[in-house]
Chains A and B, each alone.
Chain A
Amino acid sequence: MTEAPILIVGGGPAGASAAATLAEAGLPVLLVEQRDQLGGAIHRQPANGAGNHVWRPARHRRNWAALTARLRACAGMIEIRTQTVFLGVDGEGRFLFDDRRAGRVFASRPRAAIVAVGAVETIRPFPGWELPGVMTAGGAQVLLKETGRPPEGPILIAGSGPLLPALAAQLARAGNPPVAVLERGRPWRRPATLARLALAGGPMGEAAAYAAALALARVPYRGGAVVTRAEPDGAGLTVGMRIGADERVLRVRHLLIHDGIEPNRVGIPLPAPEAAVPVLLAGDGREALGADAALLDGRRAALQLLARLGAGAAELAGLESRLERARRVQAALAQALRSEPVEPAPETLICRCEGRSYADLQALDGDASAREIRLMGRFGLGACQGRFCGPMIAALRGRPVPAASPPRWPLRPVSVAALARLSTDETE
């Protein structure tokens, strides 16, 4: 009888790193990825084998090339299923997947699993963020990687975080630099935190390369600048912004927004240490520390699993200290870019799926439960099941929205026909 494989959900750096580590240790692996190729958001490959290459740090290219070489070297131990979307875990412990190619849902009860489903982007809502022409910076970056082409027309990037200048530099290199980058925080006013960032081993070289690319393309990078609203304007948008004490208006075609990332946890069952079937989280889906740390974290999860299955894990302490360093960098970065929360206007949309506004959220009792927020408020009931609006609601209410218990599935809408054709790996 062949040994049952370890299930790995997500083919980004964490999942791929975990898969290679387990396979190298001699364990069979089933690696499931929702897209048609491995890579995740950070290493998203060009669609349809197109030869376009988006500018990115050489370190990322090298890391991914090394990891894919390792996967190839133990290809016999790894079954990769692409275009297969994770739908969550049902009440009887089945991991559910939407096999989009076969048009059917399959269920697996693995002997162990590593869930590496990455992060979700967060935004701070303002009136008009849901309009066509507005999209998340991370989404735009993935599109750029897939197509090799920047969006046409004037682009404005706004929000907070290191993704903003990185994407701006990539757009500039691809031939359409944004008209400006608006950073909510005021990093220049916090030299001490910037120094701490450098001391913590922050990617200062990478930052300098982005800064040089922005300077070359004459893209202004403004601190203390926030978008206050967006309105439709012909084929584009009129964007209102506040830069320091100044109110300004800009006409653009695209507004790309981003205010950080959070682990993608909606509907992901939290691992129980004593569970009969070990489930571990890895990568940004466990703790949002970025791509380099995700590689380490995938390896760490694989080694932890090996330890539970009786193999050694001598390397774990070294990985922990490197992850701790990544944690210090993220903390210093967050400190450098910190900004005060701003209460949105009442008409600001919060739940895009069901069209619910900030006023609707405020109409709920202050001590409304997660269930009341869903049922009475109709927040998080739509296609995204709260993956996108959940963090916004938590930020606006100043406390996390408790997860549905037990975790809900499907995590993503699934065809009635595909689910009706459920197949399982159970023998009874």
Chain B
Amino acid sequence: MASSAAIHVAVIGAGIVGAAAAHFLAAAGARVTLLDASGPAAGATGASDGAVSVASKRPGPMMDLARHARAFYVRCERDGLFRGLFHRRSTFLVARTAVEAELVARHGADLAAAGERVVEVDRATLLARIPGLGASVCAALEIPDDGHALGYEITQRLLGRSRIAIRRNAPAAEIVMRAGRAAGVAIGDELVAADAVLVAAGIGSAPLLGLGEILIPRKGQMAVTDRASPSGPAIDGHLMAASYLAAKRGIAREDGHIGLVIDPLMTGQFLIGGSREDHRSDHATDARTIAAILREALDLYPPLAHRRVLRSFAGVRTASRDGLPIVGAHPRREGIVIATGFEGDGICLGPFMGACAARLLLGEAPAVDLKALSPQRFLRVEAHA
């Protein structure tokens, strides 16, 4: 194949995954054209919490990948790329009923089995760590090795460090194929010629791939409060209710389910989320959903009653039909790599998956086995259908 110095890759999507792929491609000497229908971090990357969390992951390949992805953050922080942007912090998995306590315990066992440090925390210890915690909280696990980063800051850093120029307001109409290989991307009447194409465009990926309805939008509404501390996180960890785990483990499936997280931001503010609304790709927020989220949040952490909501917003997660991300070579079209479907895990997985996608595009093996995420699985399903 052509030497990597000569390869020209068109990356569709300037979210955290596309930005990471572009960065590592450029670092390997590739020529990169980064395209986005809107601008950097315009989708879920810019409208999400900042959990770089293994604690929340479904057992199986997601939990294992999240551990690699979090370790990748730690490495990038150490080598300077993410310096000042990634911070280690604990996640507390919090139960408020006996049923929830059982769920949290089961999840803790799964985490431990995957090699994760898990600390059981009794109510008194937890209250000392997070004063004011709600009376209903009966059990908690601490996952001490989790972390925090804001998707849009990571994206900005990745693009800034590699000096990649992004083409804004450049929606990809289609991937142009020549002699069975990707030859570029059509933007309106213009062809952006490329040797290979990465599709990391979230919900906008499906129409470019020709694999059918493999992606589902899942809207999440959130609220941000004013500052509870002048700077630095207002509480000593990320609070994740069992209702969030229930959603992640596929136990709670009802539409509009609230998976509660209380994310203490570095600014001293709180980000409180979120709803899970299937097939909703708009960015509207409604008072009833936000009020319901806040009632949950007040029950878990009553001191929030002293805070004020500064804004509400919604992000649209891109979920795959089977709930696992889609990362790998296009099963039918040569020269196309796909990296999308990260749902609510894109901030955690994004940089690592972007780096893996870059290696795939350069014809190298990724750092971990990505078979479970291969787009190939959607072909099999189609064949049986």
Per the 8 Å Cβ criterion, residues 298-339 of B in contact with A are: 298, 304-314
Say whether A416 contacts B282, CB under 8 Å.
no
Per the 8 Å Cβ criterion, residues 28-58 of B in contact with A are: 38-42, 46
Which of A73-81, A89-97, A311-319 sits within the interface?
A: A89-97
With beta carbons under 8 angstroms apart, the residue of A371, A381, A413 that contacts B309 is A413
Q: Let me know if A52 is at the binding interface, CB within 8 A.
A: no
A351 to chain B, nearest CB (A): 13
Say whether A410 contacts B286, CB under 8 Å.
no
Q: Which residues of B contact A367 (CB under 8 A)?
A: 168
Say whether B286 contacts A385, CB under 8 Å.
no
Say whether A410 contacts B312, CB under 8 Å.
yes
Q: In the complex the two chains form, what is the Cα distance from A96 to B312 in whole Å?
A: 13
Q: Let me know if A368 is at the binding interface, CB within 8 A.
A: yes
Q: In the complex the two chains form, what is the Cα distance from A369 to B290 in whole Å?
A: 26
Residues 398-416 of A, flagged 1 when their CB comes within 8 A of B and 0 if not, give 0000000110111001111
Residues 376-399 of A, flagged 1 when their CB comes within 8 A of B and 0 if not, give 100001110100000000000000
Q: In the complex the two chains form, what is the Cα distance from A419 to B311 in whole Å?
A: 12
B289 to chain A, nearest CB (A): 9
Q: Which residues of A contact B311 (CB under 8 A)?
A: 381, 385, 408-410
Residues 207-241 of A, flagged 1 when their CB comes within 8 A of B and 0 if not, give 00000000000000000000000000000000000
Say whether A422 contacts B305, CB under 8 Å.
no
A379 to chain B, nearest CB (A): 13
Q: Which residues of A contact B162 (CB under 8 A)?
A: none
Q: Which residues of A contact B223 (CB under 8 A)?
A: 416
Q: Which residues of B contact A166 (CB under 8 A)?
A: none
Q: Which residues of B contact A105 (CB under 8 A)?
A: 287, 291
Q: Which residues of A contact B284 (CB under 8 A)?
A: 90-92, 406
Q: In the complex the two chains form, what is the Cα distance from A371 to B14 in whole Å?
A: 14
Beta-carbon nearest neighbor of A380 in chain B:
B311
Q: In the complex the two chains form, what is the Cα distance from A415 to B308 in whole Å?
A: 4
Q: In the complex the two chains form, what is the Cα distance from A383 to B227 in whole Å?
A: 10
A58 to chain B, nearest CB (A): 42
Q: Which residues of A contact B310 (CB under 8 A)?
A: 381-383, 385, 410, 413
Q: How many residues of B contact A (CB 8 A)?
A: 36
With beta carbons under 8 angstroms apart, the residue of B38, B40, B46, B294 that contacts A419 is B294
Q: Is the interface of B mostly helix, strand, loop or mixed?
A: mixed
With beta carbons under 8 angstroms apart, the residue of B156, B226, B283, B298 that contacts A383 is B226
Say whether A416 contacts B307, CB under 8 Å.
yes
Q: Let me know if A424 is at the binding interface, CB within 8 A.
A: yes
Q: In the complex the two chains form, what is the Cα distance from A376 to B305 in whole Å?
A: 29
Q: Let me know if A206 is at the binding interface, CB within 8 A.
A: no
Q: Let me know if B384 is at the binding interface, CB within 8 A.
A: no
Say whether B285 contacts A90, CB under 8 Å.
yes
Q: Let me know if B380 is at the binding interface, CB within 8 A.
A: no
Say whether A416 contacts B298, CB under 8 Å.
yes
Q: Which residues of B contact A410 (CB under 8 A)?
A: 309-312
Say whether B282 contacts A420, CB under 8 Å.
no
Say whether A422 contacts B291, CB under 8 Å.
yes
Say whether A413 contacts B308, CB under 8 Å.
yes
Q: Let me know if B225 is at the binding interface, CB within 8 A.
A: yes
Q: In the complex the two chains form, what is the Cα distance from A394 to B304 in whole Å?
A: 35
Q: Let me know if B161 is at the binding interface, CB within 8 A.
A: no
Beta-carbon nearest neighbor of A414 in chain B:
B309
Q: Let me know if B178 is at the binding interface, CB within 8 A.
A: no
Q: Which residues of A contact B285 (CB under 8 A)?
A: 90-91, 409
Q: Which residues of A contact B168 (CB under 8 A)?
A: 367, 369
Say whether A408 contacts B312, CB under 8 Å.
yes
Beta-carbon nearest neighbor of B155 in chain A:
A376
Known: A105-B291, A375-B41, A416-B298. A91 touches B286 (CB 8 A): yes
Q: Let me know if B152 is at the binding interface, CB within 8 A.
A: yes
Q: Let me know if A197 is at the binding interface, CB within 8 A.
A: no
Q: Which residues of A contact B291 (CB under 8 A)?
A: 105, 419-422
Q: In the complex the two chains form, what is the Cα distance from A368 to B295 in whole Å?
A: 36
Beta-carbon nearest neighbor of A367 in chain B:
B168
Q: Let me know if A275 is at the binding interface, CB within 8 A.
A: no
Q: Let me know if A305 is at the binding interface, CB within 8 A.
A: no
Q: Let me know if B288 is at the binding interface, CB within 8 A.
A: yes
Say whether A375 contacts B152, CB under 8 Å.
yes
Q: Which residues of B contact A371 (CB under 8 A)?
A: 38-39, 41-42, 46
Q: Let me know if A320 is at the binding interface, CB within 8 A.
A: no
Q: In the complex the two chains form, what is the Cα distance from A382 to B225 in whole Å?
A: 10
Q: Which residues of B contact A416 (CB under 8 A)?
A: 223, 225, 294, 297-298, 304-309
Q: Which residues of A contact B306 (CB under 8 A)?
A: 416
Say whether B41 contacts A414, CB under 8 Å.
no
Residue from B284, B294, B311, B314 having most chain A Cβ neighbours under 10 A: B311
Residue from A90, A96, A417, A420 having most chain B Cβ neighbours under 10 A: A420
Residues 183-213 of A, flagged 1 when their CB comes within 8 A of B and 0 if not, give 0000000000000000000000000000000
Known: A372-B39, A406-B282, A416-B304. A90 touches B287 (CB 8 A): yes
Per the 8 Å Cβ criterion, residues 301-323 of A in contact with B are: none
Beta-carbon nearest neighbor of B166 in chain A:
A365
Q: Let me know if A107 is at the binding interface, CB within 8 A.
A: yes
Q: In the complex the two chains form, what is the Cα distance from A383 to B298 in whole Å?
A: 21
Say whether B309 contacts A419, CB under 8 Å.
yes
Q: In the complex the two chains form, what is the Cα distance from A274 to B294 in whole Å?
A: 34
Say whether B283 contacts A406, CB under 8 Å.
yes
Q: Which residues of A contact B297 (CB under 8 A)?
A: 416
Q: In the complex the two chains form, what is the Cα distance from A408 to B295 in whole Å?
A: 21
Q: In the complex the two chains form, what is the Cα distance from A421 to B288 in whole Å?
A: 10
A-B contact pairs, 20 of them (CB 8 A): A92-B288, A94-B286, A94-B287, A96-B287, A371-B42, A372-B39, A375-B41, A376-B156, A383-B226, A383-B310, A406-B283, A408-B313, A409-B311, A410-B311, A410-B312, A415-B309, A416-B225, A417-B298, A419-B291, A422-B288
A→B interface (CB under 8 Å): 90-92, 94, 96, 105, 107, 367-369, 371-372, 375-376, 381-383, 385, 405-406, 408-410, 413-417, 419-422, 424
B→A interface (CB under 8 Å): 38-42, 46, 152, 156, 168, 223, 225-226, 282-288, 290-291, 294-295, 297-298, 304-314
4 additional A-B pairs beyond A408-B311, A416-B297, beta carbons within 8 Å, are A372-B40, A413-B226, A416-B294, A424-B287
Q: Which 3 residue pairs of A and B lie closest in terms of their CB atoms, listed nearest first? A: A91-B284, A422-B291, A413-B308
